[in-house]
Amino acid sequence: MSAGRVDDYGYLADGRTGALVSRDGSVDWWCPARFDAPSVFARLLGDDGGHWWIRPAGEFQVERSYLDDTLVLRTVFRTEQGSVAVTDALALDPEARGHDIGRNPPGLLLRLVEGLSGHVPMLMSYAPRFEYGRVRAYLQPHGETSISRATGSTLGMTASVPVRHEGIDASASFTVDPGRREAFSLSHSSTYHQREPMAVDVPAALADTVAGWRSWTAEHSYTGLYPQLVRRSALVLQGLTYQRSGAVVAAATTSLPVRPEGHDNYDYRYVWLRDFSLTLRVLSIAACPKESERLFRWIAEAIGEVGMDPIPIVLGVEGERDLSERELDELTGHVAVGPVLLGNDAWRQRQQDALGQVLDAAWLLRERLEPMPDDIRRLLRSLAEQAAGTWRMPDSGMWELRGEERHYVSSKVGCWMALDRAVRFGRVLADAAELARWAAVRDEIHASVLENGWNPRVGAITGAFGSDRLDASVLVMPLIGFLSAADPRMRATIDRIDRELTTDGLVRRWPDDSAGFVICSFWLVGCLALAGERDRATALFERLTERSNDLGLFAEQIDPDTGDQLGNLPQAFSHIGLISAAWRLTAAATGRPTPVTAVI
């Protein structure tokens, strides 16, 4: 069997990496050491990538859900013989912040099969493939554990049922009756720091993991509209967090295509400053404020003080800078659409809007940064100085287009935001003369954008100076306070984007984009809410949230014709958009004051 549609996958997380489980019970993606480490299961990207499935032997129907307030997945298979449930989880990393999960080792995948009714024949197929399928290691029985070692890693699969070893793979056949439970676990460790294979109490480890997730969600403080949707998206963002550093990756996967012909496949298992700063803001709305404070410190440590050279707009989860991109020939790609890429050459780009994103996040968190530490003050000052000194330069823009740099409106607006927030900090960051200089440059940027971004022939603000192409990135302008949604130029732009880039509520980034970009669609919700069209914004929001998969997960894009999720999953940007839009609708419905800070 081949990998299913992107919509078919559920997501598991443990505080350092994630796994994807298909509707038919197959773990098709897991990079156990950390998000961007080599995989041991990668059938998601090709049949030879490795898998571990457990499912009924005959035909079945599926219902699945997460256990409340967790990323623990429960899949119920219904067959002619009866029904059975499979509960899947990654045991929370024992170093995950704030949780006492001492009995579970790191790198532990848990699977519990429970008979619900009848007598259901089950099958298991275990086929690990190290290094994205490039390395195959023979299985060696070790008591009840099947051991594989390769490339410095050790996998130990334990099952409560008899297992057949078949060269490099293993399989099992068993039957479950009502009340009967069969337990499976898979541990990962470094071969050179070898643990003895240990017996895992799977039900107890699952209970620990559930308790760990719920102890985190108990700290949520969101009281606005759509609380369950916001809670789920906040959990997804938490599940994309590398807890040891506090970094939040853009997505848990690489190379899931956004178009049938491929080409735009990218590795998103890294930390973009833009996405990360937006995550800080929405977590301050949806969850415990302590999380956003801790995560901001990671930005300061990872970036350090900067000059006029481009800031590192994308980093590894422990602050790595060099993310050089390479193509993996051994895998054909998801549904045979390549290429499969490791690394991301966006690390070489200049993206000016990131300057504003970081300063805006700091402005939102200012009360939790008092008194402001010297390293954060130096960082914010240097970002403001870079915005003032480089805003006239072209860059690659927030969509990271490769090739010739341009004067993107969203990048200029990001520089404006950097200086606007720096000026708002006042004497905390600079003396009166510096503040006056920053304010003057800020106002110069504002005037330049309105003069050069507005295209009278198009009747809208376009994506770049001198361009006639619509670009949904300009929808951020009212959301960050650059231009009122009621301003005639902004209002005309919103209407034009709604009319020409939107299909059934899904907003494409530009006219020739092939699918709706999820966060752009949520930006339109926010713009409509700010323009006073609350009913229309609410209807659009509810239509968008119905487009998630059955577990509430969003990828990067959605095909407006088929409704299929496209791109890497789960996508932080998309879930950020949902939380922000819910907050905007709450503010519009309740009359709560909207803070100056951007929540986009």
Cβ atoms of 160 and 174 within 8 Å: the answer is no
Residues 249, 183 share a domain: no
CATH number where 25 lies: 2.70.98.10
User: Is the model's pLDDT at 598 over the cut of 60?
Assistant: no
User: Is the model's pLDDT at 99 over the cut of 50?
Assistant: no
Point out which residues pair with 435 in neighbouring strands. Answer: none
Per-residue pLDDT band at 413 (split at 50, 70, 90)? very high
User: Is the model's pLDDT at 478 over the cut of 90?
Assistant: yes
Residues 317, 232 share a domain: yes
Cβ atoms of 88 and 111 within 8 Å: the answer is yes
Q: What is the pLDDT of residue 102?
A: 46
Residue 33 DSSP class: S
Residues 237, 366 share a domain: yes
Question: In a 10 Å sphere around its CB, with 0-12 CB exposed, 13-18 middle and 19+ buried, how is residue 522 labelled?
Answer: buried
Point out which residues pair with 130 in neighbouring strands. Answer: 135
| C-alpha torsion sign, points 87, 88, 92, 93 | positive
Distances from the Cα of 125 to the Cα of 158, 197, 514, angstroms: 13, 21, 37
Final residue of a structural domain among 161, 186, 216? 216
| C-alpha torsion sign, points 533, 537, 540, 542 | negative
Counts of helices then strands in the chain (DSSP H, E): 14, 28
Q: Which residue range is the domain that position 205 belongs to?
A: 6-216
Task: Decide if 267 is inside a domain.
Answer: yes
Q: What is the pLDDT of residue 355?
A: 95
Q: Name which of 70-79, 274-283, 563-572 the model is least confident about.
A: 274-283
Residues 239, 170 share a domain: no
Residues 265, 116 share a domain: no
Note the pLDDT tens digit of each residue in 438-475. Answer: 999 999 999 999 999 999 999 999 999 999 999 999 99
Distances from the Cα of 177 to the Cα of 6, 84, 119, 496, angstroms: 32, 9, 5, 60
Please give the angle made by the CA atoms of 564, 565 and 570, to the nearest 5 degrees.
160
447 vs 284: CA distance, rounded Å = 32
Mean pLDDT value of segment 57-74 = 97
CATH number where 545 lies: 1.50.10.10
Task: Decide if 546 is inside a domain.
Answer: yes
Tokens at 239, concatenated: 């599940």
Final residue of a structural domain among 216, 235, 262? 216
Tokens at 583, concatenated: 């907050």
Task: Decide if 110 is inside a domain.
Answer: yes
Residue type, 501: L
Residues 281, 202 share a domain: no
Per cent of the chain over pLDDT 90 is 76
Cβ atoms of 534 and 585 within 8 Å: the answer is yes
Task: Decide if 595 is inside a domain.
Answer: no
Per-residue pLDDT band at 155 (split at 50, 70, 90)? very high
Q: How far apart are the first and last CA of the chain?
A: 40
Per-residue pLDDT band at 560 (split at 50, 70, 90)? very high
556 vs 549: CA distance, rounded Å = 12
Distances from the Cα of 78 to the Cα of 20, 118, 121, 122, angstroms: 21, 10, 12, 12
More confident residue, 151 or 337: 337
Closest by alpha carbon to 579, among 283, 191, 322, 174?
A: 283
Residues 334, 271 share a domain: yes
Residues 248, 192 share a domain: no
Q: What is the pLDDT of residue 221?
A: 77
Q: What is the pLDDT of residue 95?
A: 61
Task: Decide if 470 is inside a domain.
Answer: yes
* Phi–psi pair at 99, nearest 5 degrees: -125, 140
CB atoms within 10 A of CB 402: 9
Final residue of a structural domain among 164, 196, 216? 216
User: Is the model's pLDDT at 34 over the cut of 90?
Assistant: yes
| C-alpha torsion sign, points 69, 363, 574, 1 | negative
84 vs 114: CA distance, rounded Å = 6
Residues constituting the chain: 600
Cβ atoms of 137 and 130 within 8 Å: the answer is yes
Point out which residues pair with 324 in neighbouring strands. Answer: none
Task: Decide if 598 is inside a domain.
Answer: no
Task: Decide if 600 is inside a domain.
Answer: no
Contacts of 441 (CB under 8 A, 6+ apart): 387, 388, 391, 419
- The 3-state DSSP class for residue 159 equals strand
Contacts of 80 (CB under 8 A, 6+ apart): 58, 59
Computed on alpha carbons and rounded to an integer, the radius of gyration of the chain in Å comes to: 24
Note the pLDDT tens digit of each residue in 193-232. Answer: 655 666 789 999 999 999 999 988 887 778 899 999 999 9
349 vs 356: CA distance, rounded Å = 16
524 vs 153: CA distance, rounded Å = 46
Q: What is the pLDDT of residue 300?
A: 80
User: Is the model's pLDDT at 420 over the cut of 70?
Assistant: yes
CB atoms within 10 A of CB 192: 8
Question: Helices in 193-335 by DSSP H: which ranges?
Answer: 202-217, 227-239, 273-286, 289-303
Residues 326, 235 share a domain: yes
pTM exceeds 0.75 for this model = yes
Residue type, 138: Y
Cβ atoms of 282 and 586 within 8 Å: the answer is no
Mean pLDDT value of segment 280-305 = 71
445 vs 391: CA distance, rounded Å = 8
468 vs 470: CA distance, rounded Å = 7
Per-residue pLDDT band at 97 (split at 50, 70, 90)? very low
Per-residue pLDDT band at 596 (split at 50, 70, 90)? very low
Question: In a 10 Å sphere around its CB, with 0-12 CB exposed, 13-18 middle and 19+ buried, how is residue 404 labelled?
Answer: exposed
Mean pLDDT value of segment 549-560 = 97
The overall average pLDDT reported for the chain is 91
- The 3-state DSSP class for residue 499 equals helix
Residue type, 81: Q
Please give the angle made by the CA atoms of 420, 426 and 429, to the nearest 5 degrees.
95
Question: In a 10 Å sphere around its CB, with 0-12 CB exposed, 13-18 middle and 19+ buried, how is residue 280 labelled?
Answer: buried
512 vs 586: CA distance, rounded Å = 33
Task: Decide if 596 is inside a domain.
Answer: no
89 vs 18: CA distance, rounded Å = 10
CB atoms within 10 A of CB 11: 25
Structural domain total, the chain: 2
Residues 241, 200 share a domain: no
Cβ atoms of 467 and 455 within 8 Å: the answer is yes
Q: What is the pLDDT of residue 422?
A: 98
Residues 293, 238 share a domain: yes
User: Is the model's pLDDT at 94 over the cut of 70?
Assistant: no
Residues 323, 176 share a domain: no
Closest by alpha carbon to 44, among 203, 232, 265, 224?
A: 265
Tokens at 382, concatenated: 């240097």
